[in-house]
């Protein structure tokens, strides 16, 4: 039923020396409008201290230092001037875990479901209490970083957590693609990391069933195990770096960069600024805003997972009328027929659409089909 997944294959770019993190700018966090502050600012904080709580869970201090609260027309922000040691993660130490020892650290250490980042990990697990199926998946959404080698290097930690899952969800079947089950594809190709797509391909369940399944991807598990077996809070994230040249060639750095929550990207902009004047975030399929590196940026580990440097950006680029080339529908991995939203070509099948963004990425008229899809869904289904 579904067509072959679309594959964007970047080349690699060789590293040119070691990066040095610049710590002369305060770490800056931007709470949601309805966030609950957990401190009376200004205040001295230590790594892992809870600063505020929002829908995605508790947000912790990424460093030791002095935290202050600032207000502006754009909203409130918390700035932390680091004045202590840069505490790093410890080795994972396998141990037998009880139910409470798994659940208690989730909020205390700020863990989030990185597969569904609008939820804290604890609230996500609680929302799936009656699930009959648990998927421990091998791919992140876009597989910018491969976490399987680290997880498989620590299989004893993984098996200890699986035993607790059996206690928490005694009626559920566990499909473990970290250890035991063979990956359904030899090499990752987008959109295999999207939970709805992975579950359909492996379990033949419709996309709507994803709300009934407990789905834990490798990055969620990686940060959970750092918390459970090394008592390390969720304050940093591994990110991939991409470089888009003048001729449209895409390159990916050989190694990842570990960035803490609220950290300034000044050190990266100083290194790559002479060649790349703009950047954008995350996936090429999401159409995130293009930004000027001169304006700086502070990293949000809940929302951002990769950084794309651009040599140039045409700010005047605009949408053109659909030329009915059919690329969007032909390459749609689920045959949802997005072309129907901009032409008279058949009907759009919303139940098959997972908003992967491939149609937007491929459109020669630069039509943001993903936005049109979301508008259509809100108008027709109220979500």
Altogether, the residues listed in the chain come to a count of 383
Structure tokens that stand for 100 in this block: 């409470």
Reported as a single tens digit per residue, the pLDDT across 323-375 is: 888 888 888 888 899 898 888 788 898 888 888 888 888 888 888 888 888 88
d(CA 290, CA 307): 11
pLDDT at 155 over 50: yes
Maximum average pLDDT range among 14-18, 235-239, 326-330: 235-239
Reported as a single tens digit per residue, the pLDDT across 314-333 is: 555 678 888 888 888 888 88
Provide mean pLDDT across the span 301-313: 89
pLDDT at 17: 41
* DSSP-assigned letters across all residues of 351-383: GG-----HHHHH-TT---HHHHHHHHHHHHH--
pLDDT at 11: 59
Provide mean pLDDT across the span 45-68: 95
Query: What percent of the chain is helix, strand and coil (3-state, nearest 5)?
Result: 25, 20, 50
pLDDT at 365: 85
| pTM (predicted TM-score) | 0.90
Reported as a single tens digit per residue, the pLDDT across 257-280 is: 999 999 999 999 999 988 999 999
Angle at 55 between CA 52 and CA 61, to 5 degrees: 30
Neighbours of 281 (CB within 10 A): 19
CB–CB of 352/336 below 8 Å? Answer: yes
Banded model confidence at residue 63, pLDDT cuts 50, 70, 90: very high
Banded model confidence at residue 164, pLDDT cuts 50, 70, 90: very high
């Amino acid at each position: 039923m579904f067509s072959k997944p679309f594959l964007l294959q970047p080349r690699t770019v060789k590293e040119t020396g070691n990066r040095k993190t610049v710590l002369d700018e305060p770490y800056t966090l931007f709470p949601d409008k309805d966030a609950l502050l957990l401190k009376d600012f200004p205040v001295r904080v230590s790594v892992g201290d809870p600063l505020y709580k929002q829908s995605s869970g508790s947000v912790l201090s990424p460093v030791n230092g002095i935290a202050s609260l600032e207000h502006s027309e754009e909203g409130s922000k918390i700035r932390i001037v680091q004045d202590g040691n840069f505490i790093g993660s410890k080795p994972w130490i396998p141990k037998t875990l009880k139910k409470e020892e798994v659940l208690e650290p989730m909020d205390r250490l700020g863990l989030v479901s990185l597969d569904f980042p609008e939820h804290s990990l604890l609230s996500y697990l609680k929302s799936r209490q009656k699930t009959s199926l648990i998927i421990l998946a091998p791919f992140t959404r876009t597989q910018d970083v491969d976490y399987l080698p680290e997880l498989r290097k620590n299989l004893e930690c993984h098996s200890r957590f699986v035993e607790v899952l059996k206690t928490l969800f005694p009626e559920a079947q566990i499909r473990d693609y970290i250890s035991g089950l063979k990956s359904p594809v030899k090499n990752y190709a987008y959109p295999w990391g999207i939970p709805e797509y992975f579950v359909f391909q492996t379990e033949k369940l419709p996309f709507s069933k994803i709300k009934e399944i407990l789905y834990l991807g490798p990055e969620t598990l990686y940060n959970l195990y750092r918390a459970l077996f090394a008592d390390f809070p969720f304050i940093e994230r591994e990110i991939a770096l991409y470089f888009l040249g003048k001729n449209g060639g895409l390159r990916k750095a050989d190694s990842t960069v570990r960035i803490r929550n609220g950290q300034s990207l000044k050190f990266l902009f100083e290194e790559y600024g002479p060649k790349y004047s703009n950047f954008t975030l995350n996936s090429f399929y999401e159409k995130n805003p293009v930004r000027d590196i001169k304006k700086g940026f502070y990293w949000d580990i809940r929302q951002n997972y990769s950084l794309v440097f651009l040599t140039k950006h045409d700010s005047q680029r605009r949408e053109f009328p659909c030329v009915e080339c059919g690329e969007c529908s032909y390459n749609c991995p689920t045959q949802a027929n997005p072309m129907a939203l901009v032409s008279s070509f058949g009907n759009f099948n919303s139940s098959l659409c997972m908003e992967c963004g491939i149609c937007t990425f491929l459109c020669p008229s630069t039509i943001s089909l993903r936005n049109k899809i979301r508008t259509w869904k809100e108008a027709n289904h109220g979500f």
